């Protein structure tokens, strides 16, 4: 199933609830929440209190992307705050397998993410331990960057590895996804689409409807009318 996961990093934080309502009403299924620790990436974003406040506000699936060094330190806090999917970076864990097991033991889905410069093959041995693979399509740390074209081949390779192993793992893409290039990543094998600027800048409802039209069309094989 194709899923849209709007990234609140691009939202107006003073109007977060309102803007999330618009995205949800227009058909977005997940909410992508970027957690940055100022170490794994230079910037700092949201903490547990934002997640737990939003949890009381909406039933959307919380797709929490931990751009955090040694994420085992925080996985339980985010699970408690209301995360449904907890994604960690392969580059940030001293023991990837233990980290994924820890997330599952908390009763949450586990995602594993790779930065653009990390070989995609480095996640192969973990594929049977994850629910979602997050292929970063920009260098993590900031919203509003341009999609790295080399990502398309990486998504294709990831989908091939998952298929060869007969696994049912979602492939999420994150960074620089727009109405114009979303069909490229879908065609390459991604099925969970993060979009920050492309959803929250401009008319949120219309942006989500346009994106969903492409996602749904890719599933049914009919061309999207946007």
Annotated binding site for a divalent metal cation: 32, 34, 65, 174
Which residues inside 182-211 make contact with Zn ion, applying CB under 5 A? none
Nearest position to ligand DX5, beta carbon? 196
Q: Is 84 a catalytic residue?
A: no
The H or E element that residue 136 is part of is strand 132-136
Applying CB under 6 A, does 140 fall inside the site for ligand DX5? Answer: yes
Question: How is residue 179 annotated by DSSP?
Answer: T
Q: Please report how close the Cβ of residue 175 comes to ligand DX5 at its closest, in angstroms.
A: 5
Applying CB under 6 A, does 129 fall inside the site for ligand DX5? Answer: no
Of 65, 51, 47, whose CA–CA distance to 103 is shortest? Answer: 65
Q: Phi and psi at residue 41, in whole multiples of 5°? A: -130, 155
Tell me the site size for ligand DX5, rule CB under 6 A. 22
CA 134 from chain center: how many Å?
6
Which candidate in 101, 174, 203, 210 is catalytic? 174
Applying CB under 6 A, does 210 fall inside the site for ligand DX5? Answer: no
Applying CB under 5 A, does 37 fall inside the site for Zn ion? Answer: no
Q: Is 34 a catalytic residue?
A: yes
Please name the residues in contact with 105: beta carbons below 8 A apart, sequence gap of 6 or more.
none
CB-CB neighbours of 168 under 10 Å = 7
Q: Kindly list the residues in this chain that would bind Zn ion in the complex (CB under 5 A).
A: 34, 65, 174
Catalytic machinery residues: 34, 174
């Amino acid at each position: 199933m194709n899923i849209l996961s709007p990234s609140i990093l691009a939202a107006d934080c003073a109007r977060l609830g309102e803007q999330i309502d618009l995205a949800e009403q227009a058909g977005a299924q997940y909410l992508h929440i970027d957690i940055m620790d100022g170490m794994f990436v230079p910037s700092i974003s949201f903490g547990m209190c934002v997640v737990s406040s939003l949890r009381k506000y909406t039933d959307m699936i919380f797709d929490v992307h931990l751009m955090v060094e040694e994420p085992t330190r925080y996985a339980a806090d985010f699970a408690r705050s209301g995360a449904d999917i907890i994604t960690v970076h392969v580059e940030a864990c001293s023991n990837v397998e233990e980290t994924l097991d820890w997330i599952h033991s908390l009763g949450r889905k586990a995602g594993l993410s790779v930065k653009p410069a990390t070989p995609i093959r480095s996640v192969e041995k973990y594929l049977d331990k994850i629910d979602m693979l997050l292929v970063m399509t920009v260098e993590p740390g900031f919203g509003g960057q341009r999609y790295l074209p080399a990502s398309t081949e990486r998504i294709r390779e990831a989908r091939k590895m998952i298929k060869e192993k007969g696994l049912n793992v979602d492939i999420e893409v994150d960074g620089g996804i727009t109405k114009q290039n979303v069909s490229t990543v879908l065609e390459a094998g991604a099925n969970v689409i993060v979009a920050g600027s492309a959803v929250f800048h401009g008319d949120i409802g219309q942006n989500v409807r346009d994106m969903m039209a492409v996602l749904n069309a890719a599933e049914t094989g009919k061309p999207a009318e946007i």
